[in-house]
Amino acid sequence: MEAENLTELSEFLLLGLSGASELQPVLFGLFLSMYLVTVLGNLLIILAVSSDSHLHTPMYFFLSNLSFVDICFISTTVPKMLVNIQAQSKDISYVGCLTQVYFLMMFAGTDNFLLTVMAYDRFVAICHPLHYTVIMNPRLCGLLVLASWFIIVWVSLVHILLMKRLAFSIGTEIPHFFCELAQVLEVARSDTLLNNIILYVATALLGVFPAAGILFSYSQIISSLMRMSSTEGKYEAFSTCGSHLCVVSSFYGTGLGVYLSSAVTHSSQSSSMASVMYTMVTPMLNPFIYSLRNKDVKAALGRLLSRAASCP
């Protein structure tokens, strides 16, 4: 059949994680539970930070932004997947697929930038404590967040504009539970060389530079800690980085897992399972990591829940 670029009239078929009908109720219940836990956990972090004056600092400002992005990130894929499971359907429209691709790239990229900004915040706090409030002023914090959004919004838009020139056949199957850019490019019926070049360049630039920024920040932090004479001071300083390091490890670890599963095994099932870790498990774990490892967040959450319980 000759390829047709039918824009709004065309549809894709998302093959999902499993075609077994007996597994669909189990998957629905599991992913609905994970989605609700993720949204509730990140909302509690946002409410705790916004309502408690003790947390009105740059570190928690960035954390609340990270929680907001995580809610948006998981909301891009899971609701559509739940609707498809419930309706026993695999359809997603051309516009819906491109929308998923756009917002997935945008929120994943913003997550990456925010983790880099948070590493810089910890670097300034530990290596330049006397100048911390001057350097990390509200204006700079706001500019860093806005710059993160601005860069990734335009990069994602470039990918979408390049995708619109591609042709697809009606009923094209995507071996995934959501529309992921690399998977969509693989099923295109027209030349994707330019798309792949831009994808690799953007991934290299937006992946390598933030990762290098995080590594540099922590190399300076470790160097500064080594010069401290007090063991207690070292522990207290590094403990403020513990939660962030766990989140960074989870984010880059699952992202690397997705890449390796696609590059090494060439199995759509393995890639889909790895993507569950990246798109669902990591956003779900972030609130637990920050609330369990951070006494300030735990205290703020306790005050928030006690106020909520005391309300008539």
How far is residue 237's CA from residue 239's CA, in Å, rounded to a whole number? Answer: 6
What is the tally of structural domains in the chain?
A: 1
- Residues in CB range of 294: below 8 A, 6 or more apart: 243
Across all residues in the chain, what is the average pLDDT? Answer: 83
Task: Return the sign of the alpha-carbon dihedral for residues 262, 5, 154, 176.
Answer: negative
Tokens standing for 27?
């998957």
What dihedral do alpha carbons 178, 184, 187, 190 form, nearest 10°? Answer: 160
Instruction: Please list, in sequence order, all residues whose beta carbon lies within 8 angstroms of the beta carbon of residue 278, skipping any fewer than 6 positions away.
Output: 254, 255, 257, 258
pTM of this prediction exceeds 0.85: yes
In Å, how far from its chain's centre is CA 73? 6
Task: Give Cβ neighbours of residue 119 (< 8 Å, ≥ 6 apart).
Answer: 213, 214, 217, 218, 244, 248
CATH number at residue 143: 1.20.1070.10
What pLDDT score was predicted for residue 3? 42
SS3 call for 13: strand
Q: Does 2 reside within a domain?
A: no
Entry field: residues in the chain: 312
Report the percent of the chain where pLDDT is more than 70: 87
Winning range, highest mean pLDDT, from 6-15, 121-130, 249-258: 121-130
For the segment 13-20, the average pLDDT, to the nearest whole number, is 72
Does residue 145 lie in a domain region?
Answer: yes
Is residue 181, in this structure, part of any structural domain at all?
yes
What would the mean pLDDT of 76-100 be, rounded to a whole number? 87
Residue 107 lies in a domain: yes
Is 76 among the domain residues? Answer: yes
The 10s digit of each residue's pLDDT in 159-215 is: 999 998 888 877 788 887 888 888 888 888 888 899 989 988 888 888 888 989 999
Task: For residue 243, tell me if it sits in a domain.
Answer: yes
Amino acid of residue 206 = L
User: Tokens representing 220?
Assistant: 């300076």
In whole angstroms, give the CA distance from residue 114 to residue 108. Answer: 10
Q: Would 244 be classed as within a structural domain?
A: yes
- Whole domain around residue 134: which residue ranges? 7-310
In a domain, 1, yes or no: no
| Of 135, 141, 137, 125, nearest in space to 61 by CA | 141
In the predicted structure, residue 2 carries a pLDDT above the cut 80: no
